[in-house]
Chains A and B, each alone.
Chain A
């Protein structure tokens, strides 16, 4: 069974840092792009970051460029999102999402991990 499980969310002060992890199983992790998508409370979905299968193509939404870093460890079947200089507006549920290989469609979502940025 294909699974992606996020961890690492929590409460952090503005300007702080947090590292999210996503453990993947049930599929060949190295074959497909992976993404982070977030959803602020009561709001819609927002693409955050994307990394292709071999890690040489990385994209970020404009508002997180220079602050967030997406990476993947093929040996550990794990996706990461390093977040720094966090802002109140980064408060959201963060979903780890598997790409339907080459379609830019998101076919498997984790349960999400909540990040709250507040003083």
Chain B
């Protein structure tokens, strides 16, 4: 199973908006609306930000939003804050016998 493709790093200034892309294929992201996003601060376990492309679990800020177009999913963070500096991972259901594949991760730097 090939990993999903994310940019290695993105950066933005406080208050700005940034978007992280996650590119798969027509067999995973392009076929299923089962994309999720995770935030991981150094030394901590990942936390779920979004599921089913754009659904936010309770407690997650509405500054985080998700979308999908074709084989690419996107995570947008608006009103960037210093605390958003972290690693971000996307994941997608890919098939019935190999249920989840992750992206390689994107390091977000808040300038």
A96: min CB distance to chain B, Å: 10
| B93 CB–A CB distance under 8 Å | yes
Q: Which residues of B contact A111 (CB under 8 A)?
A: 45
CB of B48 within 8 A of CB of A106, answer yes
A35 to B93, CA, bound (A): 13
A78 to B4, CA, bound (A): 31
| B74 CB–A CB distance under 8 Å | no
CB of A109 within 8 A of CB of B45, answer yes
Given A50-B99, A61-B1, A100-B57, decide whether A105 and B45 contact each other with a Cβ distance below 8 A.
Answer: no
| Most chain A C-beta atoms within 10 Å of own C-beta, residue among B3, B57, B98, B99 | B99
CB of B45 within 8 A of CB of A104, answer no
- Please name the residue on chain B nearest to A60 by beta carbon: B98
Q: Which residues of A contact B97 (CB under 8 A)?
A: 59
Given A104-B34, A106-B38, decide whether A47 and B101 contact each other with a Cβ distance below 8 A.
Answer: yes
Q: Which residues of B contact A61 (CB under 8 A)?
A: 1, 98
CB of A35 within 8 A of CB of B45, answer no
**Please, what's the 1-or-0 string for B37-52, where 1 marks a CB less than 8 Å from any CB in chain A?**
0101000011110011
**Please, what's the 1-or-0 string for A13-54, where 1 marks a CB less than 8 Å from any CB in chain B?**
000000000000000000000010000000011110010000
Q: Which residues of B contact A110 (CB under 8 A)?
A: 45
A112 to B52, CA, bound (A): 25
A-B contacts, 15 of them at CB < 8 A, read: A35-B100, A44-B103, A44-B104, A45-B105, A47-B99, A61-B1, A62-B1, A103-B36, A103-B52, A104-B34, A104-B99, A106-B38, A106-B48, A109-B47, A110-B45
